[in-house]
Amino acid sequence: MEYINKILLGDCGDVLKNLPENSVDLIFTSPPYADQRKNTYGGIHPDDYVEWFLPKSLEFKRVLKPTGSFVLNIKERVVAGERHTYVLDLILALRSQGWLWTEEYIWHKKNSFPGKWPNRFRDSWERLLHFTKDKKFKIYQENVMIPIGDWAKDRLSNLSDTDQIRDESKVNSGFGKNISNWVGRKKVYPTNVLYLATECSNKNHSAVFPVELPEWFIKLFTEPGDLVLDPFVGSGTTCFAAMELGRNYLGIDIVEEYIDLSHERLSGVQIRIPSVAEKKGDYSNERVEKNG
Ligand SMILES: C[S@@+](CC[C@H](N)C(=O)[O-])C[C@H]1O[C@@H](n2cnc3c(N)ncnc32)[C@H](O)[C@@H]1O
């Protein structure tokens, strides 16, 4: 099919009109941030951001399968001394468009440089807003389990009476726990905060995110052979991650130079055998990026 494993040039809202409905398993993307990168790929004024975004997200919704997920990496900027509300406005507008705002993940940039600002500190995190079309969507939590860590040795060797039963949240958060369930386990589920370094290597694009970011969500929300779409693909990071994990990809960008950059980057991918790696639950050091 002409849109499978391709990087296409154009406005994503237009290009996606050629795609069949319900054909994509995961949309993972980082759109141009409001007004921030005027000199590279055109800024959108924060006040106009929602209006600019909505026709595109309507197409995202049309092409996404009912079992699929849409993960949006975004962070509001400071305008005239305060945080602009365009991301919050966008969340509300996407809900009105029919999306469910299912979850919010945080990317904590663990290597951000120190700095001094008069009335705030260095911004060290970004949002990953998780939208779905349906309450029931595909999720493979085992694929992102992490080692239980040293705390378990002491904590789990000395269980109290309440540790043996389900301890419901005292504040009605719905997050109860039964500590004894974790005795003898080597892996646990992660939190919704991802600690990742920012992308430092020069990929000739000014807004590259680390490949571990799409990787984590691709493992969580898709199976090998599924289709992953990045409608604002930039240097091709999402497609790179999809390809090496044995998923199909579709990338779109409005700047021709970035299409070339993505192609160049993808030509260096060595595909892993994901079904085997996923069963082992171990992806840690397997990635090979020849061009990176
Ligand atoms: C934040 S960057 C994405 C960077 C990417 N995540 C990476 O790792 O390289 C956003 C990209 O969206 C592209 N873009 C802007 N408007 C677009 C549109 N209407 N349709 C498709 N791409 C667009 C820009 O050219 C830019 O490369």
Q: Take atom 5 of ligand 1 and give the residue whose Cα is closest.
A: 234
Decide if 287 is inside a domain. Answer: no
Structure token pair of residue 273: 């055998």
pLDDT tier at 172, thresholds 50, 70, 90:
confident
More confident residue, 206 or 253: 253
pTM for this model (two decimals) = 0.86
29: CA distance to ligand 1 center in Å? 8
Q: Are residues 116 and 38 in the same domain?
A: yes
Picking from 188, 218, 247, the residue at the C-terminal end of a domain is 188
Q: Which atom of ligand 1 is nearest to the CA of 208?
A: 8
Of all protein residues, whose CA lies closest to atom 20 belonging to ligand 1? Answer: 11
Residue 139's pLDDT is what? 98
Q: In a mutational test of the pocket of ligand 1, which residue from 58, 218, 253 has the highest number of ligand atoms less than 8 Å from its CB? A: 253
The position carrying tokens 């209006």 is 51
Distance between Cα 161 and ligand 1 center (Å): 54
Q: Are 70 and 215 in the same domain?
A: yes
Structural domain range at position 157: 147-188
Residue 179 has what pLDDT?
A: 75
How many domains is the chain partitioned into structurally?
A: 2
Centroid of ligand 1 to alpha carbon of 189 (angstroms): 32
In a domain, 51, yes or no: yes
- 286 within domain boundaries: no
Domain assignment of residue 292, yes or no: no
- Spatial neighbors of 243 by CB under 8 A, at least 6 apart, are 5, 249, 266, 269, 271
Instruction: Let me know whether 160 and 184 are in one domain.
Output: yes
Is the Cβ–Cβ distance between 226 and 7 less than 8 Å? Answer: no
Calculate how far, in angstroms, residue 10's C-alpha sits from the geometric centre of ligand 1.
10
**27 CB-contact burial (10 Å; exposed 0-12 / middle 13-18 / buried 19+):** buried
Average pLDDT over residues 156-169: 74
Of 165, 188, 211, the residue that ends a domain is 188
Does 175 share its domain with 121?
Answer: no
Q: Do 45 and 112 belong together in one domain?
A: yes
Cα(163) to centroid(ligand 1), Å = 48
**Residue 16 pLDDT greater than 70, yes or no:** yes
Same domain, 135 and 242: yes
Rounded CA-CA distance 156/173 in Å is: 24
Out of 15-24, 145-154, 240-249, least confident range: 145-154
Residues 43 and 134 grouped into a single domain: yes
Q: What is the pLDDT of residue 280?
A: 43
Which residue lies with its CA nearest to atom 26 of ligand 1? 234
| pLDDT, position 180 | 76
Contact 213, 232 (CB under 8 A): no
Averaged over 226-248, what is the pLDDT? 97
Write down which residue in 188, 216, 241 finishes a domain: 188
**Average pLDDT of the chain, as a whole number:** 86
Are 126 and 246 within one domain? yes
Nearest to 229 by CA among 216, 242, 211: 242
Does residue 285 lie within any of the structural domains?
no
Instruction: Mark whether 93 and 108 lie in a shared domain.
Output: yes
What angle is formed at CA 68 by the lines to CA 63 and CA 71, rounded to 5 degrees?
90
Do 181 and 265 sit in the same domain of this protein? Answer: no
- Does position 138 have pLDDT exceeding 80, yes or no? yes
Of 6-10, 101-105, 263-267, which range is least confident?
A: 263-267
Arithmetic mean of pLDDT, 173-187: 77
Pick the residue with more confidence: 268 or 152?
Answer: 268
Ligand 1 environment, Cβ below 6 A: 11-12, 30-32, 41, 205, 207-209, 231-232, 234-235, 237, 252-255, 258
**What is the spatial distance between Cα 178 and Cα 265, in angstroms, rounded to a whole number?**
46
- Higher pLDDT: 211 or 183? It is 211
Report residue 219: phi and psi, to 5°.
Answer: -65, -40
**pLDDT tens digits, 252-287:** 999 999 999 999 999 987 766 454 445 444 433 333
Tell me: do 39 and 182 sit in the same domain: no
Instruction: Quote the ligand 1 centre to 233 CA distance (angstroms).
Output: 5
pLDDT for position 80: 87
Q: State the average pLDDT over residues 17-36.
A: 92
CATH number at residue 10: 3.40.50.150
Q: To test ligand 1's pocket by mutation, which of 254, 259, 260 has the most ligand atoms within 8 angstroms of CB?
A: 254
Residue 1 placed within a domain = no
Q: pLDDT band at 288, cuts 50/70/90?
A: very low
The reported pLDDT for the residue numbered 111 is: 78
User: Which is nearest to 71 in space by CA: 143, 131, 16, 22?
Assistant: 131
Residues 138 and 195 in one domain: yes
Question: Poorest-confidence range of 134-148, 154-168, 221-235?
Answer: 154-168
Q: Is 238 helix (H, G, I), strand (E, B) or coil?
A: helix
Helix (H) or strand (E) holding 214: helix 212-221
Query: In angstroms, what is the C-alpha Rg of the chain?
Result: 20
